[in-house]
Structure 1
Amino acid sequence: MMSRLQFFIRFSRFYPLSPQIRKINLSPSTPPLSLLHGPSGLQENFYGSRKTTIAATIDGNDNVPTLTPLQGSDVKKPSKQKLAAIIGGVGAALLVVITGVVVYFCLMRLKRLIRRESDAASSVPLPPVVWERENISPGAGAGTVSPYDTYNLRQLSILELEQATDNFNEINIIGEGSFGLVYKGLLDDGSIVAIKRRLHYPVQYFANEVKQIACVHHKHLVKLIGYCEENLQQFLVYDYLPNGDIGNHLYDSEGLPIGKLEMRQRLIIALAAAKGLEHLHCLSPPILHLHFRTRNVLVDDNYTGKVSDFGLSKLLVAGYHAESSSAFDCFRDPEVRWLEDFSERSDVYSFGVFLLELISGREALGRNQSDTQGNLVLQAKGTRDLYNFVDKTVRDHASQAVKQMSELALLCVDTGTRPSMKSVVKELERIQEGEICHLHSGLGEEIGIVTLGSDLFK
């Protein structure tokens, strides 16, 4: 039989010894023998696992070695697991951030594409829209409206509009139209809007008429984005155009020219307004503006013209009489006396007056149709010197364009045969093309450089 020491030595070959101190008892009466590695002797350890230190004790009674697990006091937690966890967490966070950024840019790109397609679709007349014939007025249809055609029309509360206008503070009034006072407002979502307010005129089918207006979309029509009807008041909420109506850029408070716009800009605005009216007349049934005038042509940051206040015929007082409001005399077709008498010809006449204001730079102030001093139409028809009639800002420039535009305006206000708005658009496009060619030919024109493809020519 091998000795106990030989057994231990052979046993230690199969179990690696730890550098920690472990005792080996040969018998109960024998002092403990320590095997140490180092200056003090030989020290042997046995490991059963990475976290457990095992010592071998040979009992002298039964000669059977016993293994006693001992917890290592200096066992350290592995740092590689911590490092892997940190790296994994940082990587996951970066992945979430990158995914969010990618999704955001994809949504923004999709939004731009949708807006671009909407603008492209608005540049041509919409396909005929057939409305129910019940309750149709000469200006708009009043049939059943699909909610999908209203382009997210918002029904606002009067509380929202009061907050948007600081309780309809007078300092926020920016104008007055056929529907009532117009306020500049700021909605909760940050949108800057123009709010038209009408008091004490309850109108049947108000919401349905408003939805009909919201169905009409075109680049040169001001967009209706919301409405409200509460407390015997009606509100129409439109996009806000910062440059206001074109009259602010033509004449002062007394209606005299201020010479701010060049002929090129006046021609662009005229063409934009003509396209807006043409689109309304192309609908089925056609929508008549009825109240077209210079202050209903608004301009945006790029001086792109947009027609406002269209389709409001049934929202005004029933039984409207043409002579009941002298504010529209200069722009109203003299052949019309009752609302039922309006037609596309009536809008063409109003557009002709608008052209005369653009050419002369003066406001059509006349309220007496027989007063040649105050009636711009009669002045234009009676003038023999076009040079003195037109605005001096454009008097010495683009004389050919001024002459052709004046002739077109006189055709529009003629009591006989008048052109359709489609013909007016074509003629203005022809005049514009001639003006562009004239500018590029360099024949002494000093109007400025025209950049083709810009927003001004869309």
Structure 2
Amino acid sequence: MGSSLGCCDSEKVEEAGFAVGGGNSTPWRIFTYKELHAATNGFSEDYKLGEGGFGSVYWGKTSDGLQIAVKKLKSMNSKAEMEFAVEVEVLGRVRHKNLLGLRGYCAGDDQRLIVYDYMPNLSLLSHLHGQFAGESQLDWKKRMKIVLGSAEGLLYLHHEVSPHIIHRDIKASNVLLDSNFEPLVADFGFAKLIPEGVSHMTTRVKGTLGYLAPEYAMWGKVSESCDVYSFGILLLEIVTGRKPIEKLPGGVKRTITEWAEPLITKGRFKNLVDPKLRGNFDENQLIQTINIAALCVQSEFEKRPTMKEVVGLLKGYEPKTKPMRLNSVRYGEDLMSLDQASDENSDINEDESSVYGVFGALESQKIHDPYKRYGDRRMNRNL
């Protein structure tokens, strides 16, 4: 195929709803495989930053001294090809301080690699549950900065870029942290565009169990509100230091909303705070943040705020929300048994085979398909 944008051929890109070469002035370029091979010391295991269902990510240093992170896809089927084309195109067009931009890519005959700027503090996941969790680098102020920055990145995707973009995989491992702990939302391989006038799309379910909105998990209905739900789960995770799904003694698994619901109902907000903070937090900010999370994870999508409203609440531009009840959505046992997010050797589940296409077991509190009330009259697309 050659080392050009030929990998993202026009048919695939048009099918994804993009035009090649989105209008972003952020500098990026096409790398050769030889350059990236040299930068990563032959994709050495010692340079590997992480690994998932998509492939591996490596640290590297270019000949001119630039530190980079290189995502190396492990398979090149049509599905992987599409996700590569989508991520390159989305990254090439978005420009916001809280979104990880594109440094470049490589598309050889049998290789697909995406190049980003290296983030020295890795991901939010690594600080909450991974290799840096014991160092307690995330004080309350840093956590609130991460919350607001991530929200502003999503606001840009939902309201400021055209067409609007739904991320579809908001989670702690996809929030990267620069040297100043400024958050950058990353990984746009599952992103969807919402054309003007379209309220939602019906699509194949992708994402990570624990973060998925019920209407998306059960019926494949994806909208900007799905990202809002995922962001609400992320808020709870940042404040509490708990995983979206945790394993209890005896192998039973519990979602973060199931754990938090009784504490929020009783107003025991202090009991929600990550013990690693050792009581150093702003109580008013805590209550407001928890209430925003509760608003975001409501089971009925139309009751959730927009990201514009979320950012307003976080900045205090909107009236303080009153303490509210959190109505958690519970995953069925069959689905929970497939989840590996809380297994001892896995910080988060990246294996596609265990999270895609198995949502028939998801149970909720008598939730009916909310879009049926509209008869799907609004330009619903099956993608």
CA distance in 2, matches of 1:181, 1:133: 24
Percent identity for Structure 1 against Structure 2? 33
**What is the CA–CA distance in structure 1 between the aligned matches of 2:218 and 2:92, rounded to whole Å?**
26
Q: 1:405 aligns with which of 280, 289, 292?
A: 289
User: Unaligned 5+ residue runs, structure 2?
Assistant: 1-10, 193-201, 321-383
Confirm or deny that 1:264 pairs with 2:173. no
Taking a change above 3 Å as real, the CA distance of residues 361 and 209 of structure 1, as seen in their structure-2 partners, is closer
Residue type of the alignment partner of 1:265: K
Question: C-alpha distance in 1, partners of 2:317/2:278?
Answer: 15
- Assess if the C-alpha contact under 8 Å between 1:243 and 1:298 holds in 2: yes
2:70 is aligned to 195
> Judging changes above 3 Å, is the alpha-carbon distance between structure 1 residues 232 and 381 closer, same or farther for their aligned structure 2 residues?
farther
User: Separation in 2 of the partners of 1:227 and 1:376?
Assistant: 37
Shift in Å, 1:272: 0.4
Query: Counterparts of 2:133 and 2:85 in 1: how far apart (Å)?
Result: 40
Q: CA deviation at 1:410?
A: 1.1
2:174 corresponds to which of 275, 296, 302: 296
8 Å contact from structure 2 (residues 12, 85) kept in 1: no
**Residue number in structure 2 paired with 1:422:** 308
Cα offsets for 1:34-74 (capped at 9, x unmatched): xxxxxxxxxxxxxxxxxxxxxxxxxxxxxxxxxxxxxxxxx
Q: Counterpart of 2:313 in structure 1: which amino acid?
A: E
- Over 3 Å counting, the alpha-carbon distance change for 1:308 and 1:151 in structure 2 is same
Aligned to 2:14: 135
Given the superposition, is the C-alpha separation of residues 320 and 184 from structure 1 closer, same or farther in structure 2, using an over 3 Å criterion?
farther
| Offset at residue 193 of structure 1 (A) | 0.4
**Which residue number in structure 2 is paired with residue 310 of structure 1?**
188
Structure-2 change in CA distance of 1:208 and 1:419 (3 Å): closer
Cα contact 1:297–1:306 (8 A) shared by 2? yes
User: Normalized against structure 1, the TM-score is what?
Assistant: 0.56
Partner of 1:233: 111
Question: How many Å separate the matches in 1 of 2:219 and 2:112?
Answer: 22
- The CA RMSD measured in Å over matched residues stands at 3.3
Give the alignment's TM-score, normalised by structure 2. Answer: 0.67
Match of 1:173 among 40, 45, 48: 48
**Alpha carbons of 1:292 and 1:313: their partners in 2 closer, same or farther (altered >3 Å)?**
same
Work out the CA distance in 1 between the residues paired with 2:53 and 2:151: 20
Farther-moved stretch of structure 1 (297-306 vs 203-212): 203-212
Conservation of the 8 A alpha-carbon contact between 2:203 and 2:222: no
Q: Which runs of 5+ in 1 are unaligned?
A: 1-131, 435-458
In structure 1, the residue matched to 2:331 is none
- 1:288 touches 1:310 (CA, 8 Å); kept in 2? no
Does 1:156 pair with 2:42?
A: no
What's 1:446 paired with? none
Q: How many residues align?
A: 289
CA distance in 2, matches of 1:189, 1:334: 47
Aligned partner (choices 222, 225, 241) of residue 345 of structure 1: 225
Q: Which residue of 2 aligns with 1:115?
A: none
Larger Rg: 1
How far apart are residue 298 of structure 1 and its match?
Answer: 1.2
Q: 1:18-33 alignment to 2 at 5 Å? A: none
Separation in 2, partners of 1:205, 1:259: 35
CA distance change for structure 1 residues 176 and 134 in 2, over 3 Å: closer, same or farther? closer
1:166 shift after superposition: 1.1
Determine if contact 1:250/1:361 at 8 Å carries over to the other structure: yes
The equivalent residue for 2:238 is 358
**Aligned pair in 2 of structure 1 residues 258, 410: CA closer, same or farther (>3 Å)?**
farther
Q: Secondary structure at the match of 1:400?
A: helix
| Corresponding position of 1:333 | 213
**Counterpart-to-counterpart distance in 1, 2:104 and 2:218:** 30
Listed as ranges, the matches of 1:70-219 within 5 Å are 135=14, 137=16, 141-145=17-21, 149=24, 151-176=26-51, 179-202=54-77, 203=81, 206=84, 210-219=88-97
Q: Is the 8 A contact 1:288 1:343 kept in 2?
A: yes
